[in-house]
Amino acid sequence: MDKILDRHTLKQVLEGLRAQGKRVAFTNGCFDILHVGHIRYLREAKKTADILVLALNSDRSVRSIKGERRPIVPEEERADVMAALEMVDYVTVFDEDTPGELIAFLEPDVLIKGGDWSAETVVGRDVIKRRGGKIVIVPLTEGVSTTNVIGKVLDVYGAGKK
């Protein structure tokens, strides 16, 4: 089974799963360099529903959000890594700066975001509320982020260091 699907194929798959009584959770992000914070976050996200959809920001979208030096890892590779995780059921790549359009299209039952968001500021909350779904905020792992990982690598292996 291919876990990486375009949004239209994914919508069809999700409709079939919902017909079987399955609940669908949705989360999104850049997931540029996978770290323990991502793993802990995704484990908690998976507990919220039967199916976990991970929407991955495209390279263009990551550059728009994080700046021209990101992503470090190209979207095809990031998608493969995320699809390899047992708690992730499906991966789809989106090119928009926010997942709002994709959330409206897929209509998940649960929307999961990290603790750097509040339920009132989560993109797509209106779609979820209208459908009677729920928003879950998962606490972040303190001191762990892709930016911090990149900083540590540069501290140890930065320019001129061997």
CATH number at residue 107: 3.40.50.620
Contact 59, 71 (CB under 8 A): yes
Burial category of 1 from C-beta neighbours within 10 Å (exposed 0-12, middle 13-18, buried 19 and up): exposed
- The answer to whether position 144 is within a domain reads yes
Both tokens of residue 107? 């209509």
CA proximity to 55, closest of 17, 3, 99: 99
Q: Render pLDDT for 136-160 as a digit per residue (tens, 0 to 9).
A: 999 887 877 777 888 888 888 886 6
Radius of gyration (C-alpha) of the chain in whole angstroms: 16
CA-CA distance, 28 to 128, in Å (whole number)?
A: 15
Domain residue limits at 52? 7-157
- The answer to whether position 162 is within a domain reads no
Both tokens of residue 109? 């039952």
- The answer to whether position 35 is within a domain reads yes
Domain count along the chain: 1
Q: Which amino acid is at 62?
A: V
- The answer to whether position 126 is within a domain reads yes
Residues of the chain with pLDDT under 70: 1, 159-162
- The answer to whether position 125 is within a domain reads yes
- The answer to whether position 2 is within a domain reads no
Give the CA distances from residue 5 to residues 34, 57, 83, in Å, rounded to whole numbers and listed in that order.
20, 14, 10
CA-CA distance, 61 to 28, in Å (whole number)?
A: 12
Question: What is the pTM (predicted TM-score) of this model?
Answer: 0.91
Task: Give me the pLDDT at residue 158, please.
Answer: 81
- The answer to whether position 1 is within a domain reads no
